[in-house]
Amino acid sequence: MVFGAMTRCIMAKRKNKIPIRIGAEADGLREAGRIASECLQATGKLVVAGKTTREIDLAAADLIAQQGCVSAFLGYRNFPGNICISVNEEIVHGIGGDRVIQDGDVVKLDVGIVTPDGWVGDNAFSVPVGEISEDAADLLFATEESLAVAISHARAGELLSKLCSSVEEYVAQFNYTVVKEFVGHGVGKNLHEEPQVPNYWDPIEMRHRRFKNPRLQPGMVLAIEPMVNAGTADIKILDDDWTVETKDRALSSHFEHTVLVTEGDAEILTPRPRLMTERPQMTKNAGLSHDVAKIC
pTM for this predicted structure: 0.91
CB neighbourhood size of 158 (10 A)? 16
Tell me the H-state helices in the chain.
5-14, 24-45, 53-66, 134-152, 160-172, 203-208, 290-293
In this prediction, residue 13 carries a pLDDT of: 40
Once rounded to an integer, what is the mean pLDDT over residues 77-91? 98
Per the CB < 8 A criterion, the answer to whether 221 and 187 are in contact is: yes
Q: How many Å apart are CA 159 and CA 73, to the nearest integer? A: 29
Once rounded to an integer, what is the mean pLDDT over residues 177-199? 97
Give the angle subtended at the CA of 267 by the CAs of 266 and 268, to the nearest 5°.
Answer: 110
The yes-or-no verdict on residue 183 having pLDDT over 80 is yes
Once rounded to an integer, what is the mean pLDDT over residues 277-296? 47
Instruction: Walk me through the domains of the chain, giving residue ranges and CATH numbers.
Output: 5-293 (3.90.230.10)
Give the angle subtended at the CA of 226 by the CAs of 86 and 290, to the nearest 5°.
Answer: 50
pLDDT in tens, 122-136: 999 999 999 999 999
Residue type, 273: P
In this prediction, residue 284 carries a pLDDT of: 32
Tally of helices (H runs) and strands (E runs) in the chain: 7, 17
Once rounded to an integer, what is the mean pLDDT over residues 74-84? 98
Nearest to 109 by CA among 21, 24, 8, 36: 36
183 DSSP 8-state letter: B
pLDDT in tens, 41-77: 999 999 999 999 999 999 999 999 999 999 999 999 9
Q: How confident is the model at residue 281 (pLDDT cuts 50, 70, 90)?
A: low
Q: How confident is the model at residue 276 (pLDDT cuts 50, 70, 90)?
A: confident
DSSP string, 278-289: SPPP--TT--EE
Once rounded to an integer, what is the mean pLDDT over residues 150-163? 98
Q: Give the three-class secondary structure for 256.
A: strand
> For the purposes of burial, counting CB atoms within 10 Å of the CB of 202, is it exposed (0-12), middle (13-18) or buried (19 or more)?
middle
Percent of the chain with pLDDT over 70: 90
In this prediction, residue 16 carries a pLDDT of: 61
Per the CB < 8 A criterion, the answer to whether 107 and 129 are in contact is: yes
The yes-or-no verdict on residue 26 having pLDDT over 80 is yes
The yes-or-no verdict on residue 295 having pLDDT over 80 is no
pLDDT in tens, 200-241: 999 999 988 889 999 999 999 999 999 999 999 999 999 999
The yes-or-no verdict on residue 11 having pLDDT over 70 is no
**Average pLDDT for the chain:** 91
CB neighbourhood size of 21 (10 A)? 23
Longest dimension (CA), the chain: 52
